[in-house]
Structure 1
Amino acid sequence: MVLRSKYLCSFLLIIAILSHVSQSLHFELKSGKSKCISEDIKSHAMTVGKYTVVNPNEPYPTPQSHKINIRLKSGKSKCISEDIKSHAMTVGKYTVVNPNEPYPTPQSHKINIRVTSSHGNTYHHAEEVDSGQFSFTAVEGGEYSACFAAHDHKPDVTLGIDLEWGTGVHYKSLGSLAKKSKVEVMEFEVKALIETVNSIHDEMFYLRDREEEMQDLNRATNSKMAWLGLLSLFVCLGVAGMQFMHLKTFFEKKKVI
């Protein structure tokens, strides 16, 4: 009975310790900002984390958009890249933060922008602008870059650029879609569901293609490893035969055999 009580106390103690190790946090993060959470972990201790972005558009999927605030000095340039699948729609909107609101944006805060694919094709280009937007359907998959360049200005100034860049049908503004088409609410909901189904359909085909590529890579790797194994076997047999012949010749010279 004493032994059972001792085990029970140990079990309750372990549960109590583990209950204090786990943490559940909820925090807000503004666009262009960062936040760090630290945890003191002992050596060789296992740790598990789980994070979820709260979806403001329930029951619709989380928007696949990136809202970034870029700091750009005079005479400098900065590029933001995005991995976009082939035949995927992408939409971007950029605005230079005006330090002199409500007056017009000063000339020192004008920028040049160019959006290019990994193959060097230009999809958007503008000069001497303080805001704009771009949208296109990616013909080729890969990295797409949006490069911003600020003009030289004395004294140097630092520009703030708000960039919102998203890909996929979930990035479409559902409110503007309904406003433009002037459809009924039910028809609008059906269109949104059709867009979601098409997106899932395209994603499934993309994953299937990726799976086939990985299978081909695995087959090629296995074939190469098999040939390498056979080559290693023949090399070992050849070395063993040479050693055998060398030892036979040596013993014959010594008249051992």
Structure 2
Amino acid sequence: MDNSYDVIVVGAGPGGLASAKSCAENGLKTLLIEEHPAIGAPVQCGEIFHVSMLKKLGLDIPFNEPKNARIYSPNKKMIEIVLQDVGSPLVIVERKMLEKSFAVKVANLELDIFTKTPAVDVIKENGFVKGVKVLHFGEEKNIYSKIVIDASGPNAFVARKAGLNVYRNIESFVSCAQFQMANIDIDGKTAEIYLGDVAPGGYVWILPKGRGFANVGIGVNGNIGNKALDYLEKFVENEHRLRDGSII
């Protein structure tokens, strides 16, 4: 790792990877850092995307394509949508594989990538951000740059350290939890959404990754007293197609 770059990108999620790719392709000396040991983990996503995103990124990875979507209203009424009829080719992927494949493409460019390297502070001089302080192999290092891109996610760690007014109203956040479940009674081709008391201020999703195998998750309003995990466990226990399944 050098001590000076044109651009430092903090966070190697999709936004950080795309930013680093664009910078490197335009000839900028670029450093991409990620706090976790591996890019793409832990997964914090329902893993459903529009197929055009995979094409745009040039990624050839396995996916499951649901044919239908069932939406259950708070009064338990259901509507079913044939996704092809509304022009919505959605795919469900392995998010770790998606990000890892994208990271491989980015790594083939002229840039530096370091995982397990969290940013711990910003370097400010005369009121301007001039780089970041990182923890690399247990040692603090100052890395300077002309531009710092904060792709650290909703916590906006770098932006907050830089003194920017980051909007953090708890009601604007959604608290989420998810299980990957196997040996459940689903057909593998129908995505399901549940609204109402099962997920106050949000919804429950069942996103099939194959027959009998799905992401079962929930998002609830951030100011709800109970945890998202509590609501998810209750939903699974009350749904006969899920309660005997295995969380894997």
TM-score by length of 2: 0.22
Q: Look at both structures and tell me which one has the larger radius of gyration over its CA atoms.
A: 1
Q: Which has the higher helix share?
A: 1
